[in-house]
Structures are given as C-alpha cells and as structure tokens.
C-alpha cells in the first residue's frame, strides 16, 4: 500500500477496502488538520471541522473520479467545509491581534530567534485575510500548484497568484524583522 498512489487508494476504498483508506488517511491527516487549525480560533472547532471533512470524504468516495488529483479533490472538500463554517459563524481574528503583533515587535526590539520567528509567522498567518490565508495554506500544507489552488477555491490562476503575493509580502516583513 505504501507505493500505491492516492488516486488508486481512494478507488480501492470506494470498492470497500478499508485498509486503503487507512493508508490514505495516514498520508494526509497532518496537513489537513493543520490546514484547518491555522484558520480557526480554537482547537475544538478545528477538531469538529477535521472530523467533518473526513466524513464528507468517506461519504463522497463513490463520486471520486481518478482523473482528478486526489489532493485537489480532498482540499476542495476541506475548503468548502471551512467556508460553510465561516458563513455560519464568522471566525474572525480580532483586528488588534495584528496590531499587537506589530507593536509588540516594535516595543521589544529583541532579536527574534527561530522559534520566536515561527510563533510570529503563525500569528501573522492567522491575521491574513481569509482568501490569502487559505491560498497560502493550500500551498504550504497541501503543496498544490497555482492551478490546483484555483480549482479548489474556485478562482482563476492570476487571482491565486495575487493572493499569494499579498500574503507572502506581509509574512516576509515579519520574517525579516
């Protein structure tokens, strides 16, 4: 099962092979979980969203067609699930968080080591607008291309590129500080 592609594993699972799903799940459990936790306020919500995403994948296994890349199909389900959640309950990171992050950096003026840099990066990601953060996480966690991100989010390639550019510029500022 190790050498079998995601697409084949999904087909096997759709045919009733539960072991194929376990392999598939082990490959993608971390990235999907982080994709969701980075965009939600609390861990409980992230857990609910995570379980919901996999349930949707299980239910939609018969609709999967191998001509589509599995990760694209899977992240589209996750993205839609997340968007549904945002529509129901707008999660929002408080505006002051970005401000606090920036002001904190300015106030202390300390040298940011790698761990601090990572913490700042995580905080900065949470302060990104939803569409930019979503595109960035699809790139970083899912490893999707611009076209695939466009397919998942339902926008064209240039829009994806623009969102990523804005996101990277903001994060670069933080990392260079």
Partner 1 sequence: MKPEDNNTVNEQNLDADLNSIGQAYKRAPGDEPPDLLDQAVLNKARLAAEVRRSGWHFGGFRWISAFATASIVVVSLALVMEQVARPPMSDGLPAQPSSRTESYEIDVISADDANELIEAEEVIVGADREAQEFRAKQDQPADQNIELRAVVEAPARSRVEGAAAPAAAPPPMPATLQKRSDERQQQDEFADQSAIVTEQKAMLEKSDADADTQEGARDVMDTAAEPVAESDLGAITVSGHAIAKPPPPDVWIKQIIHWKHMQLNEKFEREFARFRKVYPDYELPDELANIVREDQ
**Minimum gap (Å) between residue 75 Cβ and partner 1:** 16
**Minimum gap (Å) between residue 156 Cβ and partner 1:** 14
Backbone dihedral angles phi then psi of residue 148, each to the nearest 5 degrees:
-70, -40
Helix (H, G, I), strand (E, B) or coil at 130: helix
Query: Site residues (CB under 8 A) for partner 1?
Result: 13, 16-18, 21-22, 25, 29-30, 33-34, 37, 47, 50-51, 54-55, 58-59, 61, 114-115, 117-118, 121-122, 136, 139-140, 146, 161, 164-165, 168-169, 171-172, 175
**Minimum gap (Å) between residue 140 Cβ and partner 1:** 5
Nearest in space to 117 (alpha carbons), one of 48, 61, 39, 171: 171
Nearest in space to 49 (alpha carbons), one of 92, 87, 93, 85: 85
**Minimum gap (Å) between residue 121 Cβ and partner 1:** 6
- Tell me the H-state helices in the chain: 6-14, 18-37, 43-59, 70-88, 95-108, 114-127, 130-140, 146-153, 157-176
Which CB atom, from 1 or from 58, has the smaller least distance to partner 1?
58
Which CB atom, from 83 or from 164, has the smaller least distance to partner 1?
164
Which CB atom, from 57 or from 93, has the smaller least distance to partner 1?
57
DSSP 3: T
Torsion of CA 23, 36, 152, 135, to 10 degrees: -120
Which CB atom, from 99 or from 165, has the smaller least distance to partner 1?
165
Which CB atom, from 1 or from 59, has the smaller least distance to partner 1?
59
**Minimum gap (Å) between residue 173 Cβ and partner 1:** 11
For residue 101, how many other CB atoms are within 10 A of its CB?
17
């Amino acid at each position: 099962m190790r050498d079998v592609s995601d697409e084949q594993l999904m087909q096997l699972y759709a045919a009733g092979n539960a072991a194929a799903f376990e392999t598939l799940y082990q490959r993608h459990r971390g990235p999907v979980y982080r994709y969701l936790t980075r965009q939600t306020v609390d861990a409980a919500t992230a857990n609910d969203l995570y379980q919901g995403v996999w349930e949707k994948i299980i239910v939609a296994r018969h609709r999967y067609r191998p001509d589509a890349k599995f990760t694209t199909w899977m992240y589209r389900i996750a993205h839609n699930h997340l968007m549904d959640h945002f529509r129901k309950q707008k999660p929002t990171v408080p505006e002051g968080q970005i401000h606090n992050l920036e002001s904190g950096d300015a106030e202390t003026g300390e040298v940011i080591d790698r761990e601090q840099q990572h913490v700042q990066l995580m905080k900065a990601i949470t302060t990104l607008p939803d569409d930019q953060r979503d595109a960035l996480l699809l790139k970083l966690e899912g490893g999707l291309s611009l076209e695939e991100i466009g397919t998942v989010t339902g926008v064209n390639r240039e829009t994806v590129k623009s969102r990523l550019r804005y996101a990277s510029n903001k994060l670069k500022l933080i990392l260079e500080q």
